[in-house]
Amino acid sequence: MKAAHRQIPALRERLALGGDRVTLRVVPQHPRLTPDPVEVSVNAPLFAGPIGPDLAVFDYNRERDRLLPPATPSRRGTFPDYDLDDPRFHQLNAYAIAARAIDLAESELGRLLSWGFEANRLIVLPHAGYLANAFYDEDTHSLQFFSFRQPDGTIYHTSVIHDIVAHETGHALLDAVRDRYTEGNHRETPAIHEAIGDLTAVFAAFSHQIVRERFLASAGEDLRGPNEVATIAEEFETSSSGALALRDLAVNPRPSSFRSVTDPHLLSVQLSAAIWEALIRIYEVNRTRGDLPEPAFRLARTALQRMVVRALDYLPPADVTFVDFALAMYRADRFANQDARGYRPVLARALAERGVIERASDIEDESDATPAWPGRPPSWPRITQAEAYVFLDANRQRLALSTQARYRDFVVRDLYVTSRPPSHVEIDEVILTYEYPIDIELDARRFGSLGGYWLPIWGGGTLVFDRDGRLRHRADKPVTRERVREALDFLRSVAATSLVRMDQTAEDRFRVGGARAAYVAAIAGDRLSLRSNPAVRCGSRPPIGGAAP
Ligand SMILES: [Zn+2]
């Protein structure tokens, strides 16, 4: 295993603090709204495909069993200006949007990410086949973008749509940070996956000046007017299947309308719309301070984007909830920013008003890091995974190993150090996650044909230490009676309406892909894990109007 701290110089190189870049062109929002591509830069060199350090575009159309010719760089490493209709433009467009989202996440987190699957590169299929859909599939390590015919006869390629490419990349990025979140024993976990997808789309869109200008021009002085950024993947609405609809983050649904929602897309809007609201209010704070609209907005976007991305490292290893996420945003920002303008209380109030948390005071914690835990290895903060285990083992009683703490074993799931932007020189934090499974047998009376299988509930936690070993944040996930009960209730509620069962056969995988159920009971031996179904993760869904009052 690579030593975590050696990644810091590699990160500096990656973020091109001195490295080589290559210019590519992307459609900044949507071919109908912003038809002229804009130039962006990504890490060089790229090979034909394009293929880069984290991403490999492989333009294979499964239905036609055909490989399309790849975009190919000149000897100087630059790519031709392909026509917008040329599949090679779609390859470069999807590549560049995904690569920029990765750059942003790595820069804000201050560390290199490795994917949530066993491979170095995420495969991008810009023309995967014919369907009104696009999704991230961790089993095949791929982002799959499909094409479909619109009512007017034109073919719509999802790999050209900025929102869709960024949204799917957001799923892959969250999976890279916390790869248990595609399993979900809590309804808010897959909803957070969707919210991260949508927020990645929003922030990626706002990285383009033309999108910011159009937004400020159309949304009005207070930014509450109609706009085309808060609506995610709007063009899906016109798909002939009628199965796909938009999400609008500028809505203000009653918190109570989410109470019994289990569909991840619908539920995600509770969180992402609250964060959108925080964006508008932070902008208002800046305007009150005398900033002109453009800088006021740019500052608000940068601050909130930082809060959302940095929160990811402060999340627990499994079954993340909205409260966990809200607290992570607040605490990560507490150690990253002075907050001279009071953005954090503004965020907390928006989250409370929208029912993401009960009260703002639930997350408003401005306290400093707490004293170092005993038993830190002398090599701190440059510790190895083995040293991390010994350190945690010496602190068993402090960890959330409720019963039989002495005997329960755990693994150090992740160990990384971070270095703060923009310079990424000093080690800022040491982050450890540890976990253990508790298997619960499903009883046949309650679970019918799922009876007899064992459902793993993951316990553990995330510990964020500063470079001197003081504890900044801990996100605990003990396996409590309450959590077990909630997990079983959740499994039962989705088993009745939106669960499809999948064993480890090829036909089953195929069948699941065609099924419209939001959840999959993935069965391996006598174990069953509840996962969100990637094929509908971003696809078929009722319009968000359904959740609004
Ligand atoms: Zn999605």
pLDDT tens for 323-334 read 999 999 999 999
d(CA 91, CA 46): 12
pLDDT (0 to 100) of residue 132 = 78
pLDDT (0 to 100) of residue 233 = 61
CA of 306 to the centre of ligand 1 (A): 21
Kindly tell me if the per-residue pLDDT of 240 is higher than 90: no
Residue among 162, 118, 166 at smallest CA distance from 141: 118
CA of 537 to the centre of ligand 1 (A): 5
CA of 493 to the centre of ligand 1 (A): 21
d(CA 123, CA 125): 7
pLDDT tens for 115-164 read 999 889 999 999 998 887 888 988 889 999 988 887 777 888 999 999 99
CA of 318 to the centre of ligand 1 (A): 18
User: What pTM does this model have?
Assistant: 0.92
Lowest mean pLDDT among 317-326, 338-347, 348-357, 539-548: 539-548
CA of 43 to the centre of ligand 1 (A): 26
CA of 291 to the centre of ligand 1 (A): 35
pLDDT-based confidence at 241, cuts 50/70/90? Answer: very low
CA of 534 to the centre of ligand 1 (A): 8
Kindly tell me if the per-residue pLDDT of 32 is higher than 90: no
CA of 539 to the centre of ligand 1 (A): 7
pLDDT (0 to 100) of residue 518 = 80
CA of 228 to the centre of ligand 1 (A): 19
pLDDT tens for 157-215 read 999 999 999 999 999 999 999 999 998 789 999 999 999 999 999 999 999 999 999 99
ω into residue 80 within 30 of 0, thus cis?
A: no
CA of 149 to the centre of ligand 1 (A): 21
514 against 487, higher pLDDT: 487
pLDDT tens for 5-16 read 667 777 777 766
CA of 189 to the centre of ligand 1 (A): 12
pLDDT (0 to 100) of residue 505 = 62
Spell out which residues have Cβ within 5 A of ligand 1, the ion: 194, 197, 537-538
Q: In whole angstroms, what separates CA 461 from the centre of its chain? A: 19
CA of 161 to the centre of ligand 1 (A): 14
Kindly tell me if the per-residue pLDDT of 235 is higher than 60: no
Q: What are the E-state strand segments in 51-139?
A: 55-57, 60-61, 66-67, 122-125, 134-137
CA of 88 to the centre of ligand 1 (A): 25
CB of 431 closer than 8 Å to CB of 463: yes
Q: What is the mean pLDDT of residues 413-419?
A: 93
CA of 205 to the centre of ligand 1 (A): 16
Mean pLDDT of the chain: 87
Kindly tell me if the per-residue pLDDT of 305 is higher than 80: yes
Kindly tell me if the per-residue pLDDT of 383 is higher than 70: yes
User: Looking up tokens 């991305």, which residue turns up?
Assistant: 309
pLDDT-based confidence at 3, cuts 50/70/90? Answer: low
